[in-house]
């Protein structure tokens, strides 16, 4: 008979063997069996009726009674029964296998529902296996066994199925996770409640920062106990932890509720990346590196020997450091970052040979003055070229044909006499450039070690020439009431500076005498037209338009290629002659104007002025053929100025100013005209 029973009777036998004494609980006494131990009830009948003869705890159902009754209790050898039951937590549940082997009858129930039925008096062992899925949580299994006659045995097991293809249910997430951080050891001790899964294989612990992904920290093997001590990085950051359960099918649960561990900061920043050395002027070296997260400052060290000792040159919060350096001498450098708590990081190292390989900055602000036969190119040089220049640094001026700078087609300019350069810029006189075309210049700065800067921004220059622009086409002269409007077509020359309109008169022999001056003015809305505002009195003139380039080259108006246009002015003069008779004092007016016509006068002949009662201004009306007053009555005797507010641009106006006595006698007459131009 094979049995594994935890009963009061078994305990009594054990104590008796060692001289102890225990009293077995009566059959009717309450017995509590801790899950997952079976509670076994023994009955002296086959119907489970009445009070059990014995209640005990069995760790397993594996009974071989033979032809007798159970040991430790008096029961009939036939027709007795045993009922085993337990209630346990199945965790996440999943697929299970129930296996029964019995002689005689056995029935198995899960939560009161029969799953195995072998209820028959047999002479050989009856067996049955059932696969089923048990839901998560607590459930009760009950096994009823009856020995009717003959040989008696009872065996029952239940176990999870752990094949990966069958078990598709993940374990439940662990619960009760706690974290305790030790600042002295920088360790975090994690503890949690054991999972209830019957197919539990172990646990995994994960850690992360709030901004990173979870990383497993519990090693490659599963943890088999619900605790773990992690050496948390001592960075001063707060880390999150979670635990996940893994079953025998290899399925991992969801994570437990997260817990945190705020660490002490004993970790320095990372080593600076990208450390480079640029030697400049042969006397100093500039170390540069990439910024390091968590760095409050950087320390820079140097040594003449790779093994040291290293001397602290200084510290900086920038990502570069300029240090004095012996020329053409090998020097070893290292740089490290320190955080705000002073934790130092690892060193970045670099070696400098003291050879200047750093080119100067490129010149800027190129400008030029182009003349026939020479071009002066000017530039400025940014700061920090003084040491280079004072020790043999210089500039190079390059010229490329066309409007685009092409290093492949450029040539270096030999600067002629009168050129000059200094640490802050220079001037180069180019006498070899082609005339009457476009070239592009660029300038570089060169240090004493022949390190040449990048090219400056290009400068496009139209070179000078002594060739006058070609003749102007489309010249046209239109007589108007305010002068002669001369217009022309735009020149296609690319070096044009302006246009000049020349006025001449035809001589008796047919030649043209060109006047030294004219009253031709360019209008604001017609840059290809000017208005020559001489009095439209019917005279005939000859007009010519010539183009002038940047270098004052222009065709003479007498050049045969120049188009000349002969035109006669309108004659808008009054048909009535007015004789000037003004002895009262000085006066003045504008002849060719852009503002409204006006006149001002003085009355200084006291005897005559005392007789003046007022003034009258009249304007010639061509339609009426008469001068007509421009105001009611007389202007007061004290008036000394008048403006024609009704005049419009584009006309020539003729006026008379009269001084009148009280009896209507005119004691002074002044005729005048104004060309009120409309320059369009």
Give the pLDDT confidence of 279-311 residue by residue, as tens digits: 776 678 899 999 999 899 999 999 999 999 999
Distance CA 62, CA 78 (A): 18
Asked if 5-160 and 178-262 have one fold, the answer is no
Distance CA 113, CA 90 (A): 17
- What's residue 251's pLDDT? 96
> Going by C-beta distance under 8 Å and a sequence separation of 6 or more, which residues neighbour residue 415?
397, 428, 429, 430
- What's residue 2's pLDDT? 37
First to last CA, the chain: 133
Q: What is the Cα gyration radius of the chain? A: 59
Residue 517 has pLDDT above 80, yes or no: no
Residue 20 has pLDDT above 70, yes or no: no
Parse the chain into domains and list their residue ranges. 5-160, 178-262, 276-352, 364-462, 476-568, 587-676
Report in angstroms the alpha-carbon separations of 233 from 36, 228, 273, 336, 663.
Answer: 41, 15, 22, 20, 119
Whether this model's pTM surpasses 0.85: no
DSSP string over 576-594: S----B--S--EEE-SEES
- What's residue 281's pLDDT? 65
Distance CA 418, CA 434 (A): 19
pLDDT confidence bin for 13, thresholds 50/70/90: very low
Q: pLDDT digits over 396-407, tens only?
A: 999 999 999 999
- What's residue 526's pLDDT? 65
- What's residue 175's pLDDT? 97
Burial (CB count within 10 angstroms: exposed 0-12, middle 13-18, buried 19+), residue 386 = middle
How many CB atoms sit inside 10 A of residue 340's CB?
A: 11
The CATH superfamily holding the domain 364-462 is Immunoglobulins (2.60.40.10)
Q: pLDDT digits over 638-666, tens only?
A: 999 999 999 999 999 999 999 999 999 99
Fold observed for domain 5-160: Jelly Rolls (2.60.120)
For the domain made up of 587-676, the CATH class stated in words is mainly beta
Residue 17 has pLDDT above 50, yes or no: no
- What's residue 12's pLDDT? 33
Q: Which of 414, 406, 390, 474 is nearest to 439 (CA)?
A: 406
Least confident of 192-196, 203-207, 577-581, 676-680: 676-680
Fold observed for domain 476-568: Immunoglobulin-like (2.60.40)
Q: pLDDT digits over 121-157, tens only?
A: 999 999 999 999 999 999 999 999 999 999 999 999 9
Distance CA 317, CA 338 (A): 10
- What's residue 523's pLDDT? 63
Q: What is the CATH number of domain 178-262?
A: 2.60.40.10
Q: How many residues are present in the chain?
A: 680
**Average of per-residue pLDDT values in the chain:** 91
Report in angstroms the alpha-carbon separations of 79 from 57, 173, 404.
Answer: 22, 48, 116
Q: pLDDT digits over 212-255, tens only?
A: 999 999 999 999 999 999 999 998 999 999 999 999 999 999 99
The rounded percent of the chain whose pLDDT value lies above 70 is 95
Q: pLDDT digits over 436-471, tens only?
A: 999 999 999 999 989 999 999 999 999 999 999 999
61 strand-pairing partners:
156
Half-sphere exposure of 596 (CA within 13 A, CB side): 9
pLDDT confidence bin for 265, thresholds 50/70/90: very high
Q: What is the CATH number of domain 276-352?
A: 2.60.40.10
**What strands lie across the sheet with 178-182, from one edge to the other?**
178-182, 187-191, 227-231
How many CB atoms sit inside 10 A of residue 399's CB?
A: 24
Q: pLDDT digits over 477-493, tens only?
A: 999 999 999 999 999 98
Q: pLDDT digits over 54-70, tens only?
A: 999 999 999 999 999 89
281: its two tokens: 């002027």
- What's residue 525's pLDDT? 58
Instruction: Please give the distance of CA 399 from its chain centroid, rounded to a whole number.
Output: 38
Report in angstroms the alpha-carbon separations of 353 from 322, 333, 546.
Answer: 15, 11, 67
- What's residue 21's pLDDT? 30
């Amino acid at each position: 008979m094979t049995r594994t029973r935890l009963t009061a009777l078994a305990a009594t036998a054990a104590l008796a063997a060692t001289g102890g004494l225990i009293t077995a609980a009566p059959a009717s006494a309450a017995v509590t069996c801790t899950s997952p131990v079976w509670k076994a009830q023994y009955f002296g009948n086959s119907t489970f009726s009445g009070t059990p003869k014995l209640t005990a705890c069995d760790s397993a159902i594996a009974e071989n009674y033979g032809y007798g009754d159970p040991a430790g209790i008096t029961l009939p050898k036939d027709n007795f029964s045993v009922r085993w039951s337990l209630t346990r937590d199945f965790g996440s549940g999943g697929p299970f296998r129930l296996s029964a082997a019995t002689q005689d009858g056995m029935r198995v129930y899960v939560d009161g529902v029969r799953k195995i039925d072998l209820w028959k008096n047999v002479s050989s062992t009856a067996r049955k296996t059932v696969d089923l899925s048990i839901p998560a949580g607590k459930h009760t299994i009950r096994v009823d066994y009856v020995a009717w006659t003959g040989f008696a045995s009872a065996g029952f097991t239940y176990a999870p199925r752990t094949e990966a293809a069958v078990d598709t249910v993940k374990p439940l997430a662990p619960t009760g996770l706690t974290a305790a951080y030790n600042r002295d050891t920088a360790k975090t001790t994690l503890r949690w409640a054991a999972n209830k899964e019957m197919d539990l294989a172990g646990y995994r612990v994960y850690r992360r920062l709030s901004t990173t992904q979870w990383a497993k920290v519990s090693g490659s093997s599963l943890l088999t106990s619900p605790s773990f001590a992690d050496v948390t990085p001592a960075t001063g950051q707060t880390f999150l932890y979670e635990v996940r359960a893994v079953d025998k099918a290899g399925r991992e649960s969801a994570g437990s509720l997260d817990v945190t561990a705020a660490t002490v900061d004993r970790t320095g920043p990372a080593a600076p990346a990208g450390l480079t050395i640029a030697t400049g002027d042969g006397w100093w070296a500039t170390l540069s590196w990439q910024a390091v997260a968590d760095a409050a400052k950087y320390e820079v060290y140097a040594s003449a020997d790779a093994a040291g000792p290293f001397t602290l040159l200084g510290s900086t919060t920038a990502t570069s450091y300029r240090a004095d350096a012996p020329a053409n001498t090998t020097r070893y450098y290292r740089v490290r970052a320190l955080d705000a708590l002073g934790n130092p990081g690892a060193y970045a190292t670099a070696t400098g040979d003291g050879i200047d390989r750093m080119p100067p900055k490129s010149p800027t602000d190129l400008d030029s003055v182009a003349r026939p036969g020479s071009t002066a190119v000017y530039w400025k040089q940014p700061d920090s070229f003084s040491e280079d220049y004072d020790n043999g640094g210089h500039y190079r001026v390059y010229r490329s044909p066309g409007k685009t700078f092409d290093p492949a087609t450029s040539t270096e300019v030999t600067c002629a006499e009168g050129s000059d350069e200094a640490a802050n810029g220079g001037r180069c006189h180019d006498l070899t450039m082609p005339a009457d075309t476009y070239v592009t210049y660029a300038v570089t700065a060169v240090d004493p070690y022949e390190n040449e800067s990048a090219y400056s921004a290009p400068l496009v220059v139209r070179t000078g020439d002594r060739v006058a622009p070609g003749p102007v086409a489309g010249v046209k002269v239109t007589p108007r009431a305010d002068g002669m409007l001369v217009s022309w077509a735009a020149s296609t020359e690319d070096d044009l500076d302006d246009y000049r309109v020349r006025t001449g008169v035809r001589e008796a022999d047919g030649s043209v005498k060109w006047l030294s001056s004219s009253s031709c003015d360019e209008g604001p809305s017609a840059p290809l037209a000017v208005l020559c505002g001489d009095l439209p009195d019917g005279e005939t003139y000859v007009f010519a338009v010539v183009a002038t380039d940047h270098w004052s080259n222009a065709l003479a108006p007498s050049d045969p290629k120049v188009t000349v246009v002969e035109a006669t002015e309108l004659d808008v003069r009054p048909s009535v002659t007015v004789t000037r008779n003004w002895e009262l004092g000085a006066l003045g007016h504008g002849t060719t104007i852009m503002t409204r016509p006006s006149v001002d006068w003085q009355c200084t002949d006291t005897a005559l002025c005392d007789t003046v009662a007022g003034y009258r201004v009249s304007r010639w009306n061509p339609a009426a053929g008469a001068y007509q007053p421009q105001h009611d009555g007389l202007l007061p005797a004290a008036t000394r100025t008048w403006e024609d507010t009704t005049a419009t641009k584009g006309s020539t106006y003729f006026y008379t100013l009269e001084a009148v006595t009280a009896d209507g006698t005119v004691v002074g007459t002044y005729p005048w005209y104004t060309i009120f131009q409309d320059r369009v």
